[in-house]
Structure 1
Amino acid sequence: MTTVEAIIYNQPGAHSVEDRTVLDIKDSRTIFVPVEGDDAVAGVAADLVGEGVRRIELCGALGPRAFAKVRAGVNDEVPVGVCTFGVESVAGANAFEARLMSGERVSVALLFLAEGANPETDEVTTESGTALIRFIPVPDQAAAAEVGCGLVRDATADLVELYRGIGPAPAAEILAAAEGRTPVGMVLYGRQ
């Protein structure tokens, strides 16, 4: 049986159905769904649940307001999480946002767990304005740490977000390797 999960991310000018990226790896389907701001996010999330999505995670650019809207919009039918950044990444996340808004070229890496994934061959990229968005599946926690550390050491990602169960241990390793240069966020779940 295939597990279907969605990651909703902010992408100005995007269409939430036509501009989706779908990755099927082993018994797992991850749907990356762009939305333009948080106004439509609750409706998009409700549609995803209707399509069979069993977990929804939101990118850090959408934040707590969108998180509350989605939770209310799906009536707790599925778990909903939001990517957040610790205090050690706040300044970097703000600097990233300023660079993005000024039109500077930036690279975002969204790492997510997918059993059986090969990060080198299963990675998919998309462009949004001046942002390169990299969807990078990893097979386990150790691979998440290895890939994430490589991205920040090599300065090939200006922001890293961790999804689909990548835990605090890999996040801590990536943060240590980043040495304050690259903001790193991970998904948290909460109750209303």
Structure 2
Amino acid sequence: MALTAWGFIYTAPGSDPDHETVVETPDCRTVFVGVDHPEQAIPAAHRLVANGAQLIELCGGFGPIWTARVIEAIGGAVPVGAVAYGTEAIDQVHAIFA
């Protein structure tokens, strides 16, 4: 089975989780959803799965706890992955969110 639809959920202050940005190529549809608070990722993930997403990726701001909560909330319906930053980026990431 080829990947034809997936979603990316990211955190950004002031984001409206009901707003989606869609990028389509001839072979794949990607849906980006911004959330203001991590708990908003759960209904967003449900919506992505209901609309045919074959996998979901979460931005690094979710961390392992919220990644696990999203996986549990959707019952493992699709794979859920999370962006991670290496130790070389710790100072830079901290500066952004400090």
Does residue 56 of the first structure (1) align with residue 46 of the second (2)?
no
Unaligned runs of 5+ in 2: none
Does residue 3 of the first structure (1) align with residue 4 of the second (2)?
yes
Q: Give TM-score, length-normalised by structure 1.
A: 0.48
* 3-state SS, counterpart of residue 85 of structure 1: coil
CA contact under 8 A between 1:42 and 1:66: conserved in structure 2? Answer: no
Given residue 47 of structure 2, which amino acid in structure 1 is its aligned partner?
A: D
CA contact under 8 A between 1:41 and 1:69: conserved in structure 2? Answer: no
Instruction: Identify the structure with the greater strand proportion.
Output: 1
Matched positions, count: 97
The alignment-based identity, stated in percent, is 35
Instruction: Identify the structure with the greater helix proportion.
Output: 2
CA contact under 8 A between 2:4 and 2:28: conserved in structure 1? Answer: yes
Report which structure shows greater RCO (CA 8 Å, sep ≥6).
Answer: 2
Aligned equivalents of 1:7, 1:82: Cα separation in 2: 9
Given residue 37 of structure 2, which amino acid in structure 1 is its aligned partner?
A: G
CA contact under 8 A between 1:13 and 1:36: conserved in structure 2? Answer: yes
Task: Point out 4+ residue stretches in structure 1 off by more than 4 angstroms.
Answer: none
Unaligned runs of 5+ in 1: 99-192
Summarize deviations over 1:81-121 as a string: whole Å, max 9, x none: 000111111111111223xxxxxxxxxxxxxxxxxxxxxxx
CA RMSD, Structure 1 to Structure 2 (Å): 1.5
Number of the residue aligned with 1:103 = none
Q: Which has the larger radius of gyration?
A: 1
Q: Give TM-score, length-normalised by structure 2.
A: 0.89
